[in-house]
Structures are given as C-alpha cells and as structure tokens.
C-alpha cells in the first residue's frame, strides 16, 4: 500500500518544490523523493518545481526528474531562465542583450523576443546584461559584461545564491557572479531568481488558486523568497542549511523543518 501524506501537507492545495538540495543533490535523488512526490500527486496536490539553476531548460529538468523516478511535466518546472523570460517579455520593445549563461538562458532571451548580442561588434553596447552562473564562465565574459554595464546597460541576474550543493561539494552560485558584476559595473542588479518572488509568481500562475507550501533547503532563497510571495515554507536539511541554522531562523520562520523531503511529506 502506498504511503499517505502528513498532516502538514494535508493542509495545503499546492506544493512548490525546490530542486537542488531538496529533490536531488547532484545526480542523486534525496531519500524517497520519488515516493514523496507520488504521494502528493495521489492526494491531489498541485505540484511545481523551481530552481535558480539556469544551466538546463525546463525540458531537460523534466528528463532528469523522470530519470530519478519522479514524474513531472514541462509546465510544472519553473527555472530561473523561465522567470527571466517572463520578465523580459514585459518589455515593450526588443533589446540587445549580452548573455552570461548556459545555452538554455540564451533560448529564454530569444523566446522573449530579444536579440542576443554575444559574438557581435555591439556586444559591449548591449542594453541589457543577463547573468546566470554556468560551468564555462570565463574572464572574457566578465569583461564584456562590465563594459556594457559601464556604458549604461541594465543588469538582470538569476539570483543571489552565494553557493549551491553540487554532487562533488558546495559550489559558487549566481550570487557570486552577480556580486562581481555589480562591483565592476558600479550598478545594482535586478534579481529575478529566488529570493525574488517572480519565480514563485510564475509557479503560482501555473498552479492556480489554493493554499501553497514552498519546500526548500535554503533560508534566503527558499524561505525568504516564499515570504516575499506571501507563502509558507518548510526547510529540509539535505542541502545547504544545517539544523541549527534552520531552528534559529526567524522573521520568517519555517512552518516545519525536516531531515528530507520524504520525512516532511509522508505519513509513514
């Protein structure tokens, strides 16, 4: 017989799940994560997956979820790239954009109707710089982006996460890149990734009405972002937050703290 959901989860209509550090760490699912998601679906809860990692497209995240035994659909995944596209689509006219990011971020920029300036003579005169950390980031990218910012470009960042839990250990996040660009360019970024509420707003638009719980591993990105969006949040200890840090969190405080997603969700 499949496990049911906990009393805590039974009080919600929707759940927004962080990916890195919550559903998986690196290429491994957290303990019984697939069973937890299956139980929530069986209970009729709406589910969205959110991430500040912009290195992959939503479709690629769906493939990874399925490979770990977690069922998911493309419209359930909201990456930071999805949120950037959501923001850029609000601009009245097309802009030249210098992009620091993985190929998925480039696609989100063009899908929003804007022109990628990378590799063109006008890259240093771009009107926007979009920055999301990626494994192949290099000093040349930092240089071109800095020159564009000094010439008046607006900086749009994928988040302020200092670090994230990779499979081989803690790694620098988009926040580290953002700090460098702000310092070099003498500007302040418009941050779109968590803890900005836009990622959660996009998820809520897809989920529809109902009481929603955010589950994540990061006090600033997940707990703080949920609070900015007016949502409750629970913290799991499979990512960057320790038990002491989670229990010390106030204003906001998590509605629950659990060893992992399964222990939060499952009734047995």
Q: According to the model, what pLDDT value does residue 166 have?
A: 75
- What is the tens place of the pLDDT at every residue in 43-89? 999 999 999 888 899 999 999 999 999 999 999 999 999 999 999 99
| Catalytic residue of the set 13, 20, 168, 196 | 20
Q: According to the model, what pLDDT value does residue 2 have?
A: 55
Structural contact between residues 232 and 5, judged by C-beta atoms closer than 8 angstroms: no
What is the domain-level CATH number for residue 141?
3.40.50.1000
State the Cα–Cα distance between residues 152 and 77, nearest whole angstrom: 33
When divided into structural domains, the chain yields a total of 2
Q: Is residue 79 part of a domain?
A: no
Residue given tokens 């019984």 in the structure block: 32
State the Cα–Cα distance between residues 160 and 100, nearest whole angstrom: 15
| Catalytic residue of the set 13, 18, 168, 232 | 18
- Tell me, yes or no, whether 182 and 210 share the same domain: no
- Tell me, yes or no, whether 152 and 214 share the same domain: no
End position of a domain, from candidates 167, 191, 215 = 191
- Tell me, yes or no, whether 253 and 183 share the same domain: no
Structural contact between residues 74 and 62, judged by C-beta atoms closer than 8 angstroms: yes
Q: Is residue 121 part of a domain?
A: yes
- Tell me, yes or no, whether 141 and 102 share the same domain: yes
Is residue 3 predicted with pLDDT exceeding 90?
no
Active site residue 75: no
Count the residues in the chain.
268
Is residue 241 predicted with pLDDT exceeding 80?
yes
Is residue 1 predicted with pLDDT exceeding 50?
no
Domain containing 105 equals: 93-191
- pTM, two decimal places: 0.88
Mean model confidence pLDDT for the chain: 94
- What is the tens place of the pLDDT at every residue in 147-160? 999 999 999 999 88
Active site residue 20: yes
């Amino acid at each position: 017989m499949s496990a049911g959901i906990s009393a805590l989860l039974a009080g919600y209509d929707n759940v927004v799940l962080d990916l890195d550090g919550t559903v998986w760490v690196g290429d491994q699912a957290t303990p019984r994560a697939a069973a937890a998601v299956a139980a929530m679906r069986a209970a009729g809860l709406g589910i969205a997956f959110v991430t500040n990692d912009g290195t992959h497209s939503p479709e690629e995240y769906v493939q990874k979820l399925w490979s770990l035994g977690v069922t998911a659909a493309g419209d359930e995944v909201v990456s930071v790239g999805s949120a950037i596209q959501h923001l850029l689509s609000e601009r009245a006219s097309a802009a030249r954009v210098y992009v620091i990011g993985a190929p998925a971020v480039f696609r989100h920029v063009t899908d929003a109707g804007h022109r990628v300036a990378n590799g063109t003579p006008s890259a240093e005169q771009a009107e926007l710089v979009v920055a999301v950390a990626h494994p192949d980031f290099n000093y040349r990218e930092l240089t071109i982006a800095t020159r564009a910012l000094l010439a008046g470009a607006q900086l749009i960042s994928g988040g302020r996460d200092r670090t994230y839990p990779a499979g081989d250990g803690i790694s620098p996040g988009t926040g580290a890149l953002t700090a460098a660009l702000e310092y070099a360019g003498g500007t302040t970024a418009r941050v779109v990734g968590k803890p900005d509420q836009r990622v959660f707003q996009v998820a809520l638009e897809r989920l529809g009405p109902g009481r929603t719980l955010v589950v994540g591993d990061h006090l600033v990105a997940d707990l703080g972002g949920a609070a900015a969006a007016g949502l409750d949040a629970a913290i799991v200890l499979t990512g960057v937050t320790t038990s002491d840090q989670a229990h010390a969190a106030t204003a906001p405080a998590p509605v629950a703290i659990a060893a992992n997603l399964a222990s939060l969700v499952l009734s047995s």
